[in-house]
């Protein structure tokens, strides 16, 4: 059974800092890994999707990497802004089925 863990659970940084969010998964047989953003009381917004054959994806100030063999992904946020404050979720789609397995999320606060 796939398990996804995100560390840290919460993070507070001053504006302008570069930061890294971590995601680990137990079963390396995956189709893809996605990073989502969730604002309080809202739905999820997809940020980046990395296919199992890819090593990284970039979108603006966001860069996500995938190391399938070690079961890890990182989300790098450059020059953080207060508007980046949200919960960031990673989710893994396993080869064995159609479901996404989500991590518990990292609650990020960027202070002005």
Rounded CA-CA distance 19/12 in Å is 10
**Binding to other proteins by residue 45, rule CB under 8 A?**
yes
**Binding to other proteins by residue 26, rule CB under 8 A?**
no
**Binding to other proteins by residue 55, rule CB under 8 A?**
no
Spatial contact of 10 and 85, defined as CB atoms under 8 Å apart: no
- Identify the bridge partners of residue 108 per DSSP, sorted by sequence position: 11, 86
| DSSP at 112 | -
- Among 86, 89, 108, 110, indicate the residue that binds other proteins (CB under 8 A): 89
- Among 23, 64, 66, 91, indicate the residue that binds other proteins (CB under 8 A): 91
Rounded CA-CA distance 86/31 in Å is 26
Chain positions contacting other proteins, by CB under 8 A: 4, 31-32, 34, 36, 41-46, 49, 51-53, 89, 91, 93, 98-100, 102-105
């Amino acid at each position: 059974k796939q398990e996804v863990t995100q560390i840290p659970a919460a993070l507070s940084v001053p504006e302008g800092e570069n930061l890294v969010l971590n995601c680990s998964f137990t079963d390396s047989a995956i189709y893809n890994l996605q990073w989502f953003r969730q604002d309080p009381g809202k739905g999820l917004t997809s940020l980046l999707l990395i296919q199992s054959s890819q090593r990284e994806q970039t979108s603006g100030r966001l860069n996500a990497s995938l190391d399938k063999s070690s079961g890890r992904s990182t989300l790098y946020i450059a020059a953080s802004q207060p508007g980046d404050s949200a919960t960031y979720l990673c989710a893994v789609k396993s080869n064995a089925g159609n479901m996404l397995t989500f991590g518990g999320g990292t609650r990020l606060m960027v202070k002005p």
